[in-house]
Structure 1
Amino acid sequence: MARRAEGRAGAYGLSVVGLSGTEKEKGACGVGKSCLCNRFVRPAADAFHAEHTSVLSTSDFGGRVVNNDHFLYWGEAARALDEGGEWRAHVVEQTEFIDDQTFQAHRSTALQPYAKRAAATKLASAEKLMYFCTDQLGLEQDFEQKHMPDGKLAVDGFLLCVDVSRGMNRDFGEQLKFAGGLYAQLAKTKKPVVLALTKCDEGVERYIRDAHAFALARKNLHVVETSARANVNVELAFGTLAQLVDRGRGKAKLVPYFEALKQQSQHVAAAQDRYEWLVGRAVTAPDDTWAAASSRMLAAPEYRDYIFLEGTAKAQRLFAQHLQRLRRQRKPKPKPRPSLTKATWESSYFGVPLSSVVTPEKPIPVFIERCIEYIEATGLSTEGIYRVSGNKSEMESLQRQFDQDHGLDLAEKDFTVNTVAGAMKSFFSELPDPLVPYNMQLELVEAHKINDREQKLHALKEVLKKFPKENYEVFKYVINHLNRVSRQQRANLMTSENLSICFWPTLMRPDFSSMDALTAARSYQGIIDLFIQQCPFFFPPGTPGTPPGSPAQPPPCPPGATVP
């Protein structure tokens, strides 16, 4: 266990360093140290500032935030540990502030060459305030005033930043040369160092290769590819350093930038889907206002998660787009030419009770069988399947043709995979009662609240046994299909979580007239996610729709997945 700094039991002092100085020395922009610190210490999108400056007036340099120092105190951040508990870090950034009159480094009592000063392991600055953003300087009273603890900080590890983007007026070879000299100073401290490649969202491939070669030439120098703007691998960079400081913890798994970017993009897309679903149900009047709607949605996790990841501005834009759609729907439309649509034909198959379209000998509706067989034969690799909507008129045409001919061969028709997928979802939406019976939904929610994984799985399985026979057979058939779709997630980008977001409103259809139902939506989605993810346990082999050889005991979660 690393030494614990005085007065900060369990907290590490982490120092972020990298090329600094005048424009002649570092180019027209910084290497991204401030953005990296900002994203880690204050990760919410609304708290992220993309622009920071090192050119200050004499009064701002002497203010209580900078405090006549060439380093910033970013504050304390806490993160949960996989094994329970948490780790905490005090983050500082070593920079060099430039006088806005002389364009030379501000004079300071501790002004030394940057490489030597940045390698300091003991920092002191009485009454120094935590830094938020450039706008704070000169207006300190308008921001939270939190001091660096006891006016001093012991540094336990260093995050060495190298900008791999095409920085303006900056030679990458010179930056690496500077980093080499700085690393030599850091190595003398015997403290762990992690190399953070910054701005990988604009990274130059040759620069990234050269930076990895730079690390290979130094013994045990870990490399993390990051982007503070895209919020990719920032947590990993600081977490890796913290694990090196605390040698009692396991090693971090280093994830390449583009793999981490894909994971982050999927996470954001899932959060946006949930937020748009919430807006669609909470906002029904085209004259609604953001102030009123956001206050109603404030308690919903779908709202809070999206605001955290993407920020209020993007959430408000999606809200405005939803209002525009509502207004368009209210505009009178020209009368369409007469056509055989659901308004003009009576269906004997769609919109009728489930028991009317199944028999003991044929427990799965023929239409559902045909749709799933077609999708699995032609569309399992279709990107965004079930999330990307099919054409409404084509979906109705498919249902009408099937209504007239139950022997319809979908392979002979010119329907897209998304049309067939949408028509299948529509079948469940039009059932008089949801496939997951209303009287079973509360029991499922209660079972899902159980913390112990195996107990939760067995409790959910017991509730499944209470389903009416026809509902159970169809639900089993659909969940097995969705499990097979999720296994192709590398191609179709539809994880069990993404599929559950698309399907739970269709399969469960709770009453959305109350805010309680909106708030409980995460539980409903988590239940369907768990059924898809652990399908072989819930539906063991020997029954229709279940792949042979599936385990009857609770299987482990897939890599990277968690029990919802």
Structure 2
Amino acid sequence: MNRSADIMILDLSESSAYKTNLKHIDFCGSPVINKDHWLYWGSRVLSTSEASTSNVLMRVAEQTEFLDDETFETIAGCSKSENYSQRCSRTSLQSRDKLMYIQKEQLGLESEFPQHLLPDGKFNVDGFILACDVSKETVLHSNHVINIAKSIAKTKKPIVIAFTKCDEMSEECKRHYMTLFLATKELKHVLCNLPPVETSAVKNVNVEYLFGSLAMLCLRSQKLVKKPPLAYHEASLFVEQRNLHVKCCFSTLLSQAVPLCVYPKKFLSWKQVLADIDRHPDLMNFVEVFGSRVAFEMYERYVSEAKELWAMNRLRSHVPRLFEVFQVFLGVVDLADMEWNMARDYMRCHPLFSVLFENNDYDLGMWSPSTFNVDEKSRLPAEILLLPEAGNVFEQFRVGRSDGVVAIVNGK
């Protein structure tokens, strides 16, 4: 049976960092906002490494403050009598029919996005994350930060401090925060439980550790978080190596499902590929790290690579025909001092060039699987003259002419 932990995120980086401009109609009319100054970010089951501990269902909400996009004043909501600092320490939230927040474009178009209701319209806070942006070298509003920290410390709920945007970290800003927190009596027990976690949402660094550690603290399982968090640069290197490994494994899986060497005789759509590799660990790991959309994009790039390789091989297969073409264009031309680039320019200006060559720019669409069995007597793509092999055939043709012999490439 899963246990649960409801986690509240508080942004304490700057006095205005948590403020967002919003249309009044979206604030009042969208069930995602629901006239509240907080967002419900949804839930996730966290699997623990300890066999004795049940999985944990985490639900996440974030305190914010919405400003009218015309007046830039705080919009009056259900908790209009409380300011941000006061609302931060609330441990019980209610909002009937409130939907999970996905992205700002969701507002007013809720039916076009997945809809997940806040269960029972209630959110009981079990723990807090203090999110501190350390990317900006700015004078922080110390009193504002400390007052909120002291306020939530009075709730006796577990607190974890998160340094965010560490991929753009300002060491000066980080030191300022550490000095501030170490000098705050109410936060000493917080820092004893767990030092600030250095995170990056963009690079997915230490995010899992952050939420997992707070969830364990909420369940009074402090023994599970005795391992301190990795410093950002160390954790970032670990994530990069893991991501590279996951991507390589998925790429290998794709190459096995759709081998480059057999395209287009064996061509599978994305739906067919998924049917073949469904539930494969390498696919599941890739989707977990990068998402299903990136998996599809990687498949498309792979197919594009396969198509380009096939098209290039198909183009090279027509190189032997160039000897006969050169005979038409250069049969009576003095080639003694003519270089390949000069011969190529000469042919392009010849009246018969458009008869024997396709003048259009080389297009993979022209070499699609539907034209796989192209007529050997059809016009050649002009791009064949850009291949190194074309220059080699010209040299053979010129040597044959100088020796008074007309040779046929590949014995033809």
TM-score class, shorter-chain normalisation, is: 0.5 to 0.7
2:122 to 152, 157, 164: 152
Query: How do 1:264-275 and structure 2 match up within 5 A?
Result: 264-275=239-250
In structure 2, C-alpha distance between the alignment counterparts of 1:265 and 1:199, rounded to whole Å: 16
Asked whether 1:213 is paired with 2:179, we answer yes
Among all aligned residue pairs of Structure 1 and Structure 2, give the percentage whose two residues are the same amino acid.
Answer: 33
Indicate how the Cα distance of structure 1 residues 257 and 140 shifts in structure 2: closer, same or farther if over 3 A, else same. same
Q: Is residue 162–residue 175 contact of structure 1 (8 Å, CA) maintained in 2?
A: no
Letter in 2 for 1:162: C
Residues 395-414 of structure 1 aligned to structure 2 (within 5 Å): none
- Within the candidate set 165, 168, 171, 1:202 is matched to 168
Name stretches of at least 5 consecutive residues in structure 1 with no aligned partner.
Answer: 1-7, 32-52, 336-564
Secondary structure of 1:54's counterpart equals strand
Q: 1:205 to 1:76 in 2, by over 3 A?
A: same
Cα separation, 1, equivalents of 2:303 and 2:114: 36
Q: 1:24-63, CA deviations, whole angstroms, 9 ceiling, x for partnerless residues?
A: x42xxx46xxxxxxxxxxxxxxxxxxxxx93221221112
| Counterpart residue type for residue 295 of structure 2 | A
Give the 3-state SS of the residue equivalent to 1:101 in structure 2: coil
Q: What does the per-residue CA deviation read over 1:526-551, in whole Å, with 9 as the maximum and x for residues that have no partner?
A: xxxxxxxxxxxxxxxxxxxxxxxxxx
Q: What letter matches 2:201 in structure 1? A: A
- Note the C-alpha offset of 1:307: 2.6
SS of the residue 1:173 aligns to: coil
Report what 1:328 is aligned to: 309
The verdict on how the C-alpha distance between 1:312 and 1:126 changes in structure 2, with shifts beyond 3 A counting, is closer
One-letter identity of the residue aligned with 2:251: E
| 2:42 is aligned with 1:71 | no
Worse-matched range after superposition: 147-156 or 101-110 = 147-156
2:231 to 251, 256, 259: 256
| Distance in 2 separating the partners of 1:103 and 1:186 | 27
How many angstroms apart in 1 are the aligned matches of 2:103 and 2:36? 16
Structure 1 counterpart of 2:231, one-letter code? P
SS of alignment partner, residue 75 of structure 1? strand
Give the residue type in structure 2 aligned to 1:328. L
CA contact 1:13–1:154 (8 Å) conserved in 2: yes
Residue 315 of structure 1, CA deviation: 3.3
Alignment-derived partner of residue 244 in structure 1: 217
CA shift in 2, pair 1:81/1:300, >3 Å: closer
Give the number of equivalent residue pairs. 297
CA distance in 1, matches of 2:224, 2:274: 42
2-structure distance, mates of 1:219, 1:262: 30
Superposition deviation, residue 283 in structure 1: 1.2
The residue type paired with residue 210 of structure 2 is: A
Correspondence for 2:133: 163
Which letter does structure 1 place at the counterpart of 2:216? Q
Kindly report which structure 2 residues correspond to 1:420-431, keeping only aligned pairs within 5 A, or say none: none
> What secondary structure does 1:219 align onto?
helix
Post-superposition offset of 1:320: 4.2
Distance in 1, Cα, partners of 2:149 & 2:112: 38
Distance 1:143-1:318 versus aligned 2 partners, 3 A rule: closer
Q: CA deviation at 1:86?
A: 0.7
**1:347 maps to which residue?**
none
Q: Which residue does 1:93 correspond to in 2? A: 62
CA contact (8 A) 2:159 2:214 kept: yes
Q: Distance in 1 between matches of 2:57 and 2:142?
A: 31
For the residue of structure 2 that corresponds to 1:196, the secondary structure is strand
Q: Where does 1:495-534 land on structure 2 (aligned, <5 Å)?
A: none
Counterpart in the other structure of 1:449: none
* Counterpart Cα distance in 1 of 2:171 and 2:13: 23
CA distance in 2, matches of 1:318, 1:108: 44
1:17 and 2:17 aligned:
no
**If the length of structure 2 is used for normalisation, what is the TM-score?**
0.65
Q: Which amino acid counterpart does residue 74 of structure 1 have in structure 2?
A: W
Structure 1 counterpart of 2:73: 104
Aligned pairs for 1:405-484 (under 5 A) are none
3-state SS in 1 of match to 2:140: helix
- Is 1:303 aligned to residue 303 of structure 2? no
Query: Hey, what does 1:376 align to over in structure 2?
Result: none
2:198 maps to: 225
Q: Which amino acid is the alignment partner of residue 301 of structure 1?
A: P
Which stretch shows the higher mean deviation, 233-242 or 172-181?
A: 172-181
- Structure 1 counterpart of 2:366: none
Matches for 1:307-318 after TM superposition, within 5 Å? 307-318=287-298
CA RMSD of aligned residues (A): 2.7
**1:134 and 1:235, CA in 2 relative to 1: closer, same or farther beyond 3 A?**
same
| Residue 363 of structure 1: aligned partner | none
Taking the aligned partners of 1:275 and 1:109, their CA distance within structure 2 comes to: 48
CA distance in 2 between counterparts of 1:211 and 1:133 reads 30
Q: In structure 2, what is the Cα distance between the partners aligned to 1:89 and 1:79? A: 7
More strand by share: 2
Q: 2:47 aligns with which of 56, 80, 88?
A: 80
Counterpart Cα distance in 1 of 2:42 and 2:6: 10
Is contact 2:7–2:58 with CA below 8 Å preserved after alignment? yes
User: d(CA) in 2 for partners of 1:210 and 1:202?
Assistant: 16
CA 1:317 to 1:212, structure 2 compared with 1: closer, same or farther past 3 Å? same
The structure with the largest alpha-carbon Rg is 2
In structure 2, the CA distance between the partners of 1:136 and 1:296, relative to structure 1 (3 Å rule), is same
TM-score by length of 1: 0.49
What does residue range 24-63 of structure 1 map to in structure 2 within 5 Å? Answer: 25-26=15-16, 30=17, 54-62=20-28, 63=30
User: Matched residues in 1 for 2:140 and 2:181: separation?
Assistant: 16
In structure 1, distance between residues paired with 2:253 and 2:221: 43
Alignment check: 8 A CA contact 1:286 1:324 kept: no
SS at match of 1:228: coil
Structure 1 residue 325: Cα displacement: 4.4
